[in-house]
Amino acid sequence: MASYSAIPAPAANCKCRRCSPCRLYADVVNNDDLAVETADILILSSAVATHVRARQTIADILAQFRAGKWRRYLSPDCPGVTGRSTLLDASGAINLRNSCALDPDYELTQEDWVVSMRAGQSYDWIGDGVKPHLSIQYSLDDGIPDYDISLELTNAQISARRVAATYARLYLETEEGGSPEHKGRYYWMAIGAFASKTVARTFDAWQVKTLEVLSKTVKDGLGKGNFWLFCDISGWHWYHNMYRKSFDQCLSERNSERYVREVKDQLRQLPWNTEALPKINNLRVSPHIIAGFEKVRQFEQATAAKRPDFQFGNLIDLANHEQGVILQPLIYNDPTFAEKIDLQRSWWVSWASPTVELVF
């Protein structure tokens, strides 16, 4: 693999002795900047034909990360342990439900590898605003291991731009299932688009980049809040677009703890998932969401003169959900994040803080 600290375009290269060339994906339909969003490592079948070969292949990949400027990423909800301890549960047995990433500097024994990788394990790093997540799992096909190995790259700046674009499409009713005659009903989405784009621009500020040298807390916090707010609030709007007749009935059914296994497997791959989901009530509905979509219904039935009142009501209801249900428990209640924000507000630091501006 080449360095993932800067991935300019799909033409970038990945290198792996036991891999075919990597496939890098950009969203060329909705975004023209060609920034890579996902990368598939195409592992040669011979490299994972046995457990011994698969273990060596992953060891080679881990070595490349160690040789770069990556550092291990540890979720705040995971114990700060190293070595084999990252593989074990509280009783000292191998954790077959491990949601925390392993220590990339520790080499698993062959016996531990065979036992643990059947259940699935992962490694996380961070560097230059990019968060790689390497996951490994295998199943048995007539006694022969069938490995599923994937590398996902999360770039907070690119993610924030994608979020802004999706919010804009929802507001403009050009997203899937949109209703152009009702443009303006999702009023929060218009403000959300500007806010997310502003977050993306903030990551480029020299002040933020300078602060990142000392601590990544603020940048990680902004990226985490922006991403999981999107995961929560966009889902309600997409379902309302696609399945309006059952929307009210199904509002109370959303709960990430009750998702089917396939969806839970996908959630497990998302950044900060083990930390975020419990703090944001596992994506359950809030009274603010119910009230906000009631304003949407009233907007659809109102005259042109009355519609601005319902737009403003929708904005306030969803802003209360955004701040009180998602961002406050997820990032602002984090004492480390709050400490860094307070530091930026102090008189001897605030002079160098980025100018707050709304990016159009």
250: its two tokens: 């199904």
Residue 347 has pLDDT above 60, yes or no: no
Q: Give a yes or no: residue 18 inside a domain.
A: no
Single-letter amino acid, residue 251: L
Average pLDDT of span 302-313: 96
DSSP string, 233-245: HHHHHHHHHH-HH
CA angle 47, 49, 54 (to 5 degrees): 55
3-state DSSP of 72-93: ECCCCCCCCCCHHHHHECCCCC
Q: Does residue 219 lie within any of the structural domains?
A: yes
CA distances in angstroms from 117 to 50, 87, 286, 293, listed in the order given: 13, 11, 38, 44
What does the pLDDT read at residue 99? 76
pLDDT beyond 70 at 7: no
Q: Running DSSP on this structure, what letter comes out for residue 50?
A: S
Do 261 and 124 belong together in one domain?
A: no
Rounded average pLDDT over 226-234? 94
Confidence of residue 8 (pLDDT cuts 50, 70, 90): very low
Cross-strand bridge partners of residue 149? 136
Residue 148: inside a domain: no
Work out the average pLDDT over 292-300: 98
Q: Are residues 311 and 188 in the same domain?
A: yes
Quick one: pLDDT at residue 349? 54
200 and 327: one domain? yes
Q: Are residues 196 and 136 in the same domain?
A: no
Calculate mean pLDDT across residues 92-111: 89
Domain contains 110: yes
For residues 265 and 178, membership in a common domain is answered with yes
- 330-to-130, 258, 276, 279, 323 alpha-carbon distances in Å: 20, 21, 6, 6, 10
Q: At which of 116, 141, 166 does a domain end?
A: 141
pLDDT grade for 9, boundaries at 50, 70 and 90: very low
Per residue in 238-284, pLDDT (tens digit) is 999 999 999 999 999 999 999 998 888 778 778 788 889 999 999 99
**Residue 17 is assigned to a structural domain of this protein:** no
Residue-level pLDDT at 15: 44
Residues 240 and 279 in one domain: yes
Q: What is the mean pLDDT of residues 5-29?
A: 45
Compute the CA torsion angle 181, 182, 188, 190 (nearest 10 deg). 10
* Stronger pLDDT, 133 or 353, i.e. the higher one: 133
23-25 and 121-126 as β-strands: parallel, antiparallel, unpaired? unpaired
Query: What six digits make up the tokens of 57?
Result: 């292949």
CB 257 within 8 A of CB 278: no
Range 332-358 average pLDDT: 67
CA distances from 37 to 21, 33, 120, 151, 220 (A): 17, 11, 23, 11, 18
Q: 107, 141, 175 — which closes off a domain?
A: 141
pLDDT at res. 32: 57
Place of tokens 């004492």: 335
pLDDT of 357 higher than 70: no
How many independent structural domains does the chain possess?
A: 2
Please, are residues 184 and 312 in contact by the beta-carbon 8 Å criterion?
A: no
Q: What is the pLDDT of residue 200?
A: 80
Q: Are 162 and 183 in contact (CB under 8 A)?
A: no
- The verdict on 178 and 318 lying in the same domain is yes
For residue 80, name the pLDDT band (cuts at 50, 70, 90).
Answer: confident
Query: What was the pLDDT predicted at 3?
Result: 31
Q: What percent of the chain has pLDDT over 90?
A: 46
Residue 221 lies in domain: 157-350
Residue 358, domain member (yes or no)? no
Burial class (CB in 10 A: 0-12, 13-18, 19+), 109: exposed
- 167 shares its domain with 106: no
Residues 178 and 306 in one domain: yes
- 8 Å CB contact between 136 and 149: yes
Indicate whether 330 belongs to any domain.
Answer: yes
pLDDT one-digit tens code per residue, 151-193: 777 777 777 888 899 999 999 999 999 999 999 999 999 999 9
Q: Do 125 and 212 share a structural domain?
A: no
pLDDT greater than 70 at residue 5: no
Is 8 a domain residue? no
Asked which of 141, 166, 197 is the last residue of a domain, the reply is: 141
> Are 171 and 231 part of one and the same domain?
yes
CA-to-CA distance for 241 and 169, rounded, in angstroms?
12
Helix (H, G, I), strand (E, B) or coil at 141: strand
Residue of 59, 58, 63 whose CA lies nearest to 41 = 58
Q: Among positive and negative, which fits the CA dihedral 49, 115, 276, 7?
A: negative
187 and 60, same structural domain? no
C-beta contacts of 103-109 below 8 A and 24+ residues apart: 103/72, 104/62, 104/65, 104/66, 104/72, 105/66, 105/72, 106/82, 107/59, 108/55, 108/84
